[in-house]
Structure 1
Amino acid sequence: MDLTVQHLRSFLAVAEELHFTRAAARLHVAPPSLSQQVALLEKRLGTALFWRTSRHVELTEAGRELLPLARRAVGALDEVQSWAVRRASGDRVVVGLVVGGPLCSAVVACSAGRSAGVTWDVRSLGFAEGEAAVRSGRVDVALVPAAHDPAVAGLRAVPLWREDRVLVVAATHRLAGRDGVSVAETSDERFVGVAGRPVALDAWFVSPRPDGRRPTVDPVAGTLEEVLNLCAAGLAVNIAGASVARTHPRPDLRFVPLVDVPPVTVHLVSRDGRRSPAQALLEQVAHELVAARAQEFGVLPVL
C-alpha cells in the first residue's frame, strides 16, 4: 500500500472543510487535482472515505476512523520537517526571484506554511544577478529562468518548470496582431540586452539563427520592468517566458507566441553541497504545485 503525505493532506483538507473547492484553495491546488488525490487514496485503501453529492460532502465511517490517524501522521511529519529546517537553516531562508509571478509566490507561501518557525524572505534580482547572488550568499536560493543549464562550478541547478517563449512587442508593432511568429521573422529586430550575459543571451535569443544571422542586441536593461518599458516604447523587442503575458499584461504590449524555439526552464539554483532541509522543502513544494496546477499557471512540468 503506497500512501504518501500528500494523500493524507488532501484527505484532511476535505475532511475538515467538507467542501472540495474550499479544501483545494487551502492546499493551493486545483479542485480536480484534489479530487484525484482523494480518489487515489480511497482506491489504495480499498474503501470510500466520503459520501458525495452535488451539494454535500460527508465522512463515511471509514473516513471518521481515519481522521485522527491521518492528523497524527501528518502532524508528526510536519514536526520533523520543521525541526530539520530550523536546525539546518538558522530559521531564515532568503529566496531570490529574477522574474516573479503567481507561481513563484505560491511556492514561497506554501513552503512557509509548511515550515513553522522559519522566516522566509524574498529578494528581487536583476537578470544578471541570479547565479552571482547565490554564489555570494546574498540569497540562499534563486529561481532563475534560463534557456541553458545555469549550473556552473560551485552551484547546483534543479529544473522546476518550463515555459514556452513569446515575442514581446509594442501594441503598434508590425507583428503585434499575429497568432505566432518564427524566430527567423525577428532577425531584423533590435533586442533588449543584459550587461555581462553574452552566453545566456545567445541561448535566449537563438543566436546565431539557423541561417547564421545574429540579431542586434542594443538597449541594456536590468529588470523585467525596464525590458517591458523599452518594448512598449517601440525601441526594441524581446523574448520572454510565456507566463509574462499573465503576470504583466499591459494595453501597450503584445505577447506573440514563438512557434519554433524550445521552451525556457526555471531552475532552483543553490550553492553546491549546501542544500538545507528548507531548500529541499522549497523544491518539493515547487514540483507539487507544478504537477497540480501547471495549466492554471501557464507553465509546463519538467519531464
Structure 2
Amino acid sequence: MNTLFKLGILTLTITSASCFIPGWQAPARAAMFHESDKGDAGSLLWSAMKVNTMSGDTPLVGIHGILGNQADLYQIFIDNSQDFLATTEHRNNPLDLDTQLFLFDENGYGLLANDDTSPSDRSRYNPNSSRSTIRAGAGQLPYSGIYYLGISSYGLDPTRGFNQYIFPNARRGLFTAEDAAKAPLTGWQGPATSRLLPMRTYTIALNGARYVPARSPIPNQPALTPPLPSPSPSPSPTPAPSVTPAPSLTPTPAPVPSPSPTITTEQPTPEPSVTPSPSPTPEPSEPVSVPEPSAVAGLLALVLGSRLFKQKSTGGDR
C-alpha cells in the first residue's frame, strides 16, 4: 500500500469522525482581517474597528488596511500575552512605509509603543526601513483579553488630556507602560496632521492574537465553566383578588312605637326608724328624809284650817 493511499484513508477517516463524534470540531484556520470588510477604522476607543468578522477561536495572523492623515485603531483579542507580536516588517509593505505602532489596554491606557524596529530585533526585514515592531516580553501584558492596536504614520502620536503625549516622542526602542503616562487615550497630535499624506496600504503581521469573540472573558481571570444554576423554586400562584360584594341595601326599619309610660306610684320610702338612744341610767337619788310625826300632824292641821277658812269665806259671799 503506497503512502498516498494511506494518507487518503487517514484523511477520510478523520473527516468521517468529525461527522459522527458529537462536539468535535476541526481546528479553526488562521485568517487575515481586512479593514475594507467593515469600512474605515476610527482612531479613538469609541470609533475603533472591532476585529470580529470571524468566530472568536480563529487565530488572527494580520490586519490589512489603508493609512493616511489619521491613525487606525483596532480592537483585537490577545490570547498569548507572553508571546505577542505586532510588526509592519512585512514583505508586502512598501519599503518607504514609515509607521508607528501602539498597544493600549481595554480602557485605553498605553502599554507598548514603537516607531522604528530595533536593529537587533530578529523580525527586522530591512535594516534601513522605518517600520515598526511591538514584541511583548514576560509580564509586559497583564492579561489575556481585549486590547487596542493602533497604527499611524510617523509624526502622529497618541495624546491624553490637553494634547499631552502618552509615550515619549522618540524613534528607537520599545516603550512600555512604565514610560507611558497614566491616562487613557483621548486623541492624536503631531506634525503629520498639518500636511497631506498619501494614502498607503499596510499589513500588520500578528502572533498570539485572534478574532474578538462575541463575549469576551473577564481580563486577568481564566474562562471558567459557570456552574449549573440551581432550579429556582416555582413561585406560588398569586391568588386572584377576591371580589368584594356590593353592599346590600339595608331596609329602613319601621318605626317602633314607643311604649306608653307606665305610671308607677312611688311608695313612700319609709324613713329609717330612729333607734332610741338608751335612757340614761338615773343616778341614785339621795335618801329622802322622813319627817317627824309631829311635823306631819302640824302640816295636816294647817291644810284643814285653810280649807275651813275658804268655805266660810265662800258661804258669806252667797
Tell me the TM-score normalised to structure 2 length.
Answer: 0.22
Relative to its length, the structure with more helix (as a share) is 1
- When Rg is computed on C-alpha atoms for both structures, the one with the higher figure is 2
Tell me the TM-score normalised to structure 1 length.
Answer: 0.23
